[in-house]
A = this chain, B = another copy of it.
């Protein structure tokens, strides 16, 4: 026996399908995700949760977006990792339910932390590796040129390292100044 009788008709209608504007919002996030190099399904899932006020379970997400179990599971994992969704335990419900994080500051800082900072770290290692290679260069002209370029790269690295915290700060500040 199915659990239909437990849901109010309004609820089941709510979850059953997407309204036009919701579809448009989901498409918007799909495009946004792609434009920052994230898989489409991440954008779709986030977009859906963004549209809804009530927490959704994975199987509802799968139905509404027509995505596979695998995509839903992995997508939600990534989103959680980015800090873009959080799971919320509903009393009496066994399934895990998800809601979207809608504070831009959180979204941005999560994205930067996961996507940008690792690259910066790796960059540091690369720079010192580079140092060794330049130092080991026989041709003196080439070595000199190498040193020059390395200095440029080191400068860039420093600047980008400074930029990231500033971005978080700015988004946070402007966000607050606009709230209500």
Contact = CB atoms under 8 A, between A and B. Distances in A.
The quantity of this chain's copies bound in the complex is 2
A113 to B, nearest CB: 14
Interface residues of A, number: 48
Contact of A171 (B31, B104, B163): B163
A146 B36 CA distance: 25
Interface in A124-144: 126, 129-130, 133-134, 136-137, 139, 142
A46 interface: no
B149 A51 contact: yes
A24 B37 CA distance: 24
A19 interface: yes
A115 B36 CA distance: 9
Interface of A: 19-22, 24-25, 28, 31-32, 35-37, 50-51, 53, 102, 104, 115, 119, 122-123, 126, 129-130, 133-134, 136-137, 139, 142, 145-146, 149, 152-153, 155-156, 158-159, 162-163, 166-167, 170-171, 174-175, 178
Given A21-B134, A35-B37, A104-B155, 12 more contacts: A19-B146, A20-B133, A21-B146, A24-B130, A28-B123, A32-B119, A35-B119, A50-B149, A155-B178, A163-B170, A163-B171, A163-B174
